[in-house]
Amino acid sequence: MAYELTGKIKLIQEPKTFDSGFTKREMVVIVEDGKYPQEINLEFVQDKAALLDALEPEQEITVSFDIRGREYNGRYYNNLQGWKVVTGGDETAPPAEEPSFPTPSDFEDDDIPF
């Protein structure tokens, strides 16, 4: 299940690569939520860690992420795992297309289908 949040980057941590070859990188995004802004930590793993390379603190972004949960030694943990980042001025996002429907002027009198 995918979720999105929009906010301003507070910090981007350096990538961490573990002995197993697993790589992760974390980012904190400040989300305005009423009177008290929330500081949300998101992680990007493996090839998705590179999505943070071109970003800088204070940028306004929208992050698409999944919620991941697991159990370890009787304790339960949740992670927000990012997989897409769109900056405020990113022109690479696909434009929203409105469907094109024929209008009566698109048909001639003898084009009526019945």
The pLDDT tens digits of the residues spanning 47-60 come to 999 999 999 999 99
Query: Which pLDDT belongs to residue 50?
Result: 94
pLDDT reported for residue 69: 95
Q: What is the mean pLDDT of the chain?
A: 85
Helix (H) or strand (E) holding 26, with range, is strand 23-31
Do the beta carbons of residue 25 and residue 79 sit within 8 Å?
no
The DSSP H or E segment spanning 62 is: strand 60-72
Domain boundaries in the chain?
2-89
Q: What is the pTM of this model?
A: 0.72
Fold type of domain 2-89: OB fold (Dihydrolipoamide Acetyltransferase, E2P) (2.40.50)
Per-residue pLDDT of the chain (114 residues; tens, 9 = 90+): 789 999 999 999 999 999 999 999 999 999 998 899 999 999 999 999 999 999 999 999 999 999 999 999 999 999 999 999 999 865 434 444 555 556 555 555 555 554
pLDDT reported for residue 88: 80
Per-residue buried b or exposed e for 33-66, using 16+ beta carbons within 10 Å of the residue's own CB: eeeeeeebebbbbeebbebbeeeeeebebbbebe
